[in-house]
Amino acid sequence: MLLTNTEEIPGKKIMAFYGVVSGSTVRAKHVGRDMMAGIKNIFGGELKGYTELLQESRDEAIDRMKSQASQLGANAVVNVRFSTSSVAAGAAEIYVYGTAVSVE
Amino acid sequence: MKQIIIFAVLLSLGYFFGRRAEKKHYQSIIEREEQMISLPTTSSKKVAHDKREIDHCQLVNGSMVVSVDYFKRILAKLRNFFGGNVQSYETLIDRARREAVLRMKESCPEADMVINLRLETSSITKGKKNQVGSVEVLAYGTAIYFL
């Protein structure tokens, strides 16, 4: 599955459009990580646990989008966009969407 | 009295550790930016002025979650009172942004170019009274591999 965030795939021709596909995950951090983040809020610096968590959930959202695209018979997704929002205190939603297409 | 001591301890902890971490981080950012200078990144949507043929392309991303320290939060509170540039937050977000772009570049060292770079910032945890707790910066783009 080819993914790009440009409107077309460089060097390839788009044959058919299948419409918008998307994938999302909502994840919460466990208490230990929350406590570590609380301590880090005094010292400052990177919250490695949160970086990893968001990266994992982003990968999962991409996987969900990919499986939706392959169900439609597409072999590429163009114009991929990410969005992150904190739904509740301690949980973040990752949303990925794009246009499913088939290329030669 | 007890509260003042706790406040002073937190403030000095934030000041010393935060300063040191920021200095170290900037040093490593500048070093790594020099190393990755051979991988050009643009925010334009097309590969311009290049006659080479494209082999394949790939979506790449990099992210970082950064947290403010206690000292910076107090500085920002003071700024909120007087108004003006909140410089302590400016450097924080600048650090996160440059780090995210670097991580994105480091995830595809063999690429020849990254086009359509997009940056997105979102605050992950809100502190008390809607103050910034930690900020996530995500950088993503399309890596191009020439033949």
10-residue averages of pLDDT along chain B (147 residues) = 87 85 91 89 82 86 88 84 84 91 91 91 68 81 89
Which of the two residues, B2 and A88, has the higher pLDDT score?
Answer: B2
Contact A43 B140 (CB under 8 A): no
Confidence of residue A7 (pLDDT cuts 50, 70, 90): confident
Tell me the chain B residues in contact with residue A95 when contact means C-beta distances shorter than 8 Å: none
Confidence of residue A78 (pLDDT cuts 50, 70, 90): very high
Contact B46 A6 (CB under 8 A): yes
pTM of the model: 0.87
Picking from B65, B102, B112, B146 by the largest number of A CB atoms within 10 A of its own CB, the best residue to mutate is B65
Supply the range of the domain harboring residue A75.
Answer: 2-103
Count of domains for chain A: 1
Count of domains for chain B: 1
Contact B59 A5 (CB under 8 A): yes
Mean pLDDT of chain A: 86
Supply the range of the domain harboring residue B113.
Answer: 2-146
Which of the two residues, A41 and B113, has the higher pLDDT score?
Answer: B113
Which value does ipTM take for this structure? Answer: 0.85
Nearest C-alpha neighbor of A34 from the set A53, A61, A56, A15: A53
- What pLDDT, on a 0 to 100 scale, did the predictor assign at position B62? 92
* Chain A nearest CA to B130, separation (Å): 12
Instruction: Specify the CATH number for the domain of residue B70.
Output: 3.30.110.70
- What pLDDT, on a 0 to 100 scale, did the predictor assign at position A20? 94
- What pLDDT, on a 0 to 100 scale, did the predictor assign at position A68? 93
Contacts with A3 (C-beta within 8 Å, 6 or more apart), sequence order: A62, A66, A76, A77, A80, A98, B58, B59
Tell me the chain A residues in contact with residue B135 when contact means C-beta distances shorter than 8 Å: none
Instruction: Specify the CATH number for the domain of residue A25.
Output: 3.30.110.70
* Chain A nearest CA to B119, separation (Å): 10
Confidence of residue A90 (pLDDT cuts 50, 70, 90): low
Asked if A6 and B113 count as a contact pair (C-beta separation under 8 A), the reply is no
